[in-house]
């Protein structure tokens, strides 16, 4: 495909599609946004701290992008991943694929998300919300040291 592009980026900045990335020179453009959900393991979170071995992560992202271009015959791949704190509702991943046909673009996108989760050394640590409600008083006595007292 003419105008081939393969771009990967790790950044602490909010994600946005690169300027001009929506210019259609292909039959299909697939944009995928991975957005931080409000629940992790059934518990509410404020966001996720992403850490990476940056040099290795960029290298692995590049390998995933290159393999997708070869495997699916797509001519354009962008993978941008956030590091640092990413709040609920914010994007942690932006991925764009351009291809001659939609099937290749969709398949490459899905495959790349799965591969980067498996191979790229980026770790997430959820920041759980702390319940700001005052503790309810227990009606049962509580033993503190050797003295029995009410809460």
Looking up residue 51, the CATH number of its domain turns out to be 3.90.1170.40
Strand 28-35 relative to strand 43-52, pairing: unpaired
Q: What distances in angstroms separate CA 27 from CA 67, 86, 134, one per listed residue?
A: 20, 33, 57
pLDDT, tens only, 101-136: 999 999 999 999 999 999 999 999 999 998 654 444
- pLDDT (average), residues 34-50: 97
Is residue 71 situated within a structural domain?
A: yes
Number of domain units in the chain: 1
* For helices 54-72 and 102-119, angle between their N-to-C axes, nearest 10 degrees: 150
Strand 142-144 relative to strand 39-40, pairing: unpaired
- pLDDT (average), residues 80-100: 97
Q: What pLDDT is recorded for position 133?
A: 42
- The per-residue pLDDT of the chain, averaged, comes to 86
| Distance of alpha carbon 13 from alpha carbon 6, whole angstroms | 20
Class of residue 68 by CB neighbours under 10 A (exposed 0-12, middle 13-18, buried 19+): buried
Is residue 146 situated within a structural domain?
A: no
Is residue 94 situated within a structural domain?
A: yes
Contact 79, 95 (CB under 8 A): yes
Is residue 151 situated within a structural domain?
A: no
pTM listed for this prediction: 0.81
């Amino acid at each position: 495909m003419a105008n081939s592009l393969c771009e990967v980026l790790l950044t602490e900045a909010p994600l946005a599609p690169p300027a001009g990335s929506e210019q259609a020179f292909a039959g299909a453009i697939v944009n995928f946004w991975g957005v931080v959900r409000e629940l992790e393991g059934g518990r509410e979170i404020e966001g996720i701290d992403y850490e990476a071995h940056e040099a290795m992560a960029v290298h692995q992202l590049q390998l995933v992008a290159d393999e997708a271009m070869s495997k699916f015959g797509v001519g354009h791949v962008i993978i941008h991943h956030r590091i640092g704190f990413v709040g609920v509702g914010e994007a942690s991943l932006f991925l764009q694929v351009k291809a001659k046909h939609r099937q290749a673009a969709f398949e490459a996108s899905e495959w790349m998300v799965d591969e980067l989760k498996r191979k790229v050394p980026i770790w997430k640590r959820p920041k759980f919300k702390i319940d700001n409600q005052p503790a309810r008083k227990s009606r049962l006595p509580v033993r503190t040291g050797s003295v029995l007292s009410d809460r």
